[in-house]
Structure 1
Amino acid sequence: MKILLVSTILMAASSVNTTGYSDYKCYLDTSIGKQLVLFSFKTEAVRNRLANLPATKLNLNGKKGVYVKDVIECVKESASFRNAKAKKLDKNLAR
């Protein structure tokens, strides 16, 4: 599982946006359940930010301090998830 996560992070981190920012979507296991979350990181900081997502706290769905237990999958915002549950959430996510 850890190898898949690291390889997914490295593949996702290799894509570059001309604005200096890279957009990602991550399927996370959090203290309030599994969530699909959109991120925009400075391109030069993507690897570090994705690697440090586990054990961080986010503000999600109006709740402060939501703890990220695990990163199930992160992909470039324009890419498709491999995980079926993440695909379903992504399809229904308003952007």
Structure 2
Amino acid sequence: MRITSTSGPELHPAAQAADAGHATAPAPTAAEKTEIHSAVLQPARAALADMPAVDAARVAEIRDALARGELPFDASRLAALVMRYHGSSR
């Protein structure tokens, strides 16, 4: 919001020109917002579509094998791999 006064000093000509050229762009319409939103999400949607579906039965089978101790699990190794993946230098 710009406050002006008729009794105050006039704006410098450069300030007047900048103020005149400071017209705000009209707000995007709902359709334009949807198009932008869609364009931004399109690569993520494509990547998600390319991912294989989760095999819930296989996940349950592996979880049960871990619980029974039939699969080796090294928490320290997993932690090291996670830290390496995320770039931790510790």
TM (norm. structure 2) is: 0.23
Structure with a larger share of its residues in strand: 1
Structure with a larger share of its residues in helix: 2
